[in-house]
Structure 1
Amino acid sequence: MTLLAERTTTDAAADLEAAEVAVVPTGSTEQHGPALPLGMDHMAAQAFARSAADREDTVVLPTIPVGVSVHHRQFDGTLYVSAETFEQYVEETIASLAEHGVRKAVVVNGHGGNSGALRRAARTLRDEETAFAPPWNWWDSVEDVAADLFDEDGGHADAMESSLLWHIRDDLVQPDELEAAEAGASESWGESVHGAALGFDTIDFSESGAVGRPTQADPEKGEALFEAGADQLDALLDWLAAQPLEDCWARAHK
């Protein structure tokens, strides 16, 4: 496995020279209701990232476990940093990798709250022609599969997330708590009054911290999600590895 953190500096020199693209897993440490652990998001990102570790053209970076999660702060155990701090941390981490010659990366993201910061970091890295690092949200890659498996709008600690973690870390899921999670859950993310979004924090619309129907969770469904997502990530890495770096930069103004 080409896991950068487990290599010596001597071994890393050869790994980085051979690498066309890096994988950077990011997530969060935040509440996921009574049935799932706080590390759900970064564990999911790490699992997907490590599915690419056997590729000879790919190097996998250490997981960034704390993200933009201030909206979960009323629930015990939630950790968070500001969007600005997270954006800068990811940007500078990828920039440091670029100094070693790897200037294309996929940011495997496990937490929706990180998305805005990751897009901004990717834009800065591209505009400065430091690196090309598009974010990849695992749930976006399996939308069709999830639609076939679950009857929910979902959004957080739902059947999709519960199923995925049940597959990759069954020791951390508490199936007996799925009913409690659903009893206090909202049907969809947020709260709207006459078209205005008022659900600033999760607790504004979910008593359990969950959103969706987690009782539909099943580890076999989680396996289907993971395999589908891993295939999508592998295809994305194939595409990015084949792209000439000069084709990745922003086009000049006409």
Structure 2
Amino acid sequence: MPLIENVTMSAFAEGRKTCRTVILPCGAVEEHGTHLPLGTDALHAVALAGEVARVAGVWVAPPIYYGLCRSGSRHPGTIGIRGSTLQCLVEDILRGFHQQGLLNVLVLSGHAGWTHMAALADACERVLFEFDDLRIAVLSVLDIGAAVWTDLIETPGDSHAGEVETSLMLHLHPECVTGRAPEEYPTFPRHILVRNKQAFWPGGVWGNPAAGNAEKGKLFMERSVKALVEIIEKLENWSEPPESDPA
């Protein structure tokens, strides 16, 4: 199916007769070291959703570029939104999908911060209980990676602007990669919230960018597409037992 923003009203009406599944790519405008673009998370999610749509024949909705950013919130270029703002936006979009007959929704986030993902899951959960015929899956690109990338990664603990994301951007948007930032593994204080987050994470990297290359990025994408197609097939055929009254 084509991107939703590129089709006419008539084409959408015709297309939804055979396809009721849509991917909602989500990202963040967030620092990714000194070598990757601020839109890395959204660029990744959009590219992955597009490839999955090409293989599986599903809709892709216009992306949500802004997300909930905590750890990099004080770094230059990070523009985050509140969790409540993100939730309201996602809830309204999901209700819009349902109104338009799109009943299988995959919320795919290129930004994997735990507060961001919790906000997405909470919003989706609320809408899920509004409609009995709606199916929703929520996952981040790192959720996929944990299942299908591990044998490719050389850097233990790589998670942000390091080996994986550098590889992906070298494959997807090499023109946006500027050299390599230094390897970095920040340590934040346990339990204590800090204002000056950049003092604990000066370079904005969590991993080793030097270990990244375009060939790995290509493999990351190929494996991710395959895994997501399988998740979509499971979602489209998902049914759960009815709720029963407690004894």
**What amino acid is aligned across from residue 181 of structure 1 in structure 2?**
P
Residue of 181, 188, 191 corresponding to 2:188: 191
CA contact (8 A) 1:91 1:122 kept: yes
Q: Give the aligned partner of residue 238 of structure 1.
A: 233
Q: Which moved more, 1:232-241 or 1:66-75?
A: 66-75
CA distance in 1, matches of 2:103, 2:97: 7
Query: Are the structure 2 counterparts of residues 215 and 249 from structure 1 closer, same or farther at C-alpha, using a change threshold of 3 Å?
Result: farther
Other-structure match for 2:140: 137
Match 1:171 to one of 168, 175, 181? 175
Residue ranges of structure 1 left out of the alignment (5+ in a row): none
2:158 matched residue in structure 1: 154
CA distance change for structure 1 residues 24 and 115 in 2, over 3 Å: closer, same or farther? same
Q: Which amino acid aligns with 1:191?
A: F
Other-structure match for 2:223: 228
Decide whether the 8 Å contact of 2:137 with 2:235 is kept in 1. Answer: no
Equivalents in 2 of 1:249, 1:48: separation in Å? Answer: 32
Runs of 4+ more than 6 Å apart: none
After superposition, the CA RMSD in angstroms is 2.1
Which shows bigger deviation, 31-40 or 74-83? 74-83
- TM-score using structure 1 length: 0.87
Cα deviation code 1:76-98 (max 9, x no counterpart): 22111100110110111011010
Question: How many residue pairs were aligned?
Answer: 242
**One-letter code of the match for 2:127?**
L
Asked if 1:128 corresponds to 2:130, the answer is: yes
Question: Structure 2: which 5+ runs fail to align?
Answer: none
Preserved CA contact (<8 Å) 2:111 2:141: no
In structure 1, what is the equivalent of residue 243 of structure 2? Answer: 251
Q: Is the 8 A contact 2:128 2:135 kept in 1?
A: yes
Which amino acid in the other structure matches residue 103 of structure 1? L
Change (3 A) 1:55 1:229: closer
1:82 aligns to 2:82 (yes or no) = yes
Moved more, 203-212 or 67-76: 67-76
For residues 253 and 200 of structure 1, what CA distance do their matches in structure 2 show?
47
Equivalent position amino acid for 2:182 in 1: A
How far apart, CA to CA, are the structure 2 residues paired with 1:201 and 1:17?
52
Q: 1:146 to 1:171 in 2, by over 3 A?
A: farther
Contact 1:19 1:56 in 2 (8 A): no
TM-score, structure 2 normalization:
0.89
Which residue identity lines up with residue 210 of structure 1 in the other structure? V
1:203 aligns with 2:198: yes
Aligned partners of 1:126 and 1:249 also within 8 Å: no
Asked if 2 retains the 8 angstrom alpha-carbon contact of 1:164 and 1:219, the reply is: yes
Query: Quick check: 1:66–1:80 contact (8 Å CA) kept in 2?
Result: yes
Distance 1:168 1:103 in 2: 30
- Partner residue of 2:45? 45
Summarize the Cα distance change of 1:250–1:34 in structure 2 as closer, same or farther, 3 Å threshold: farther
Check the 8 A contact 2:164/2:217 in 1, yes or no.
yes
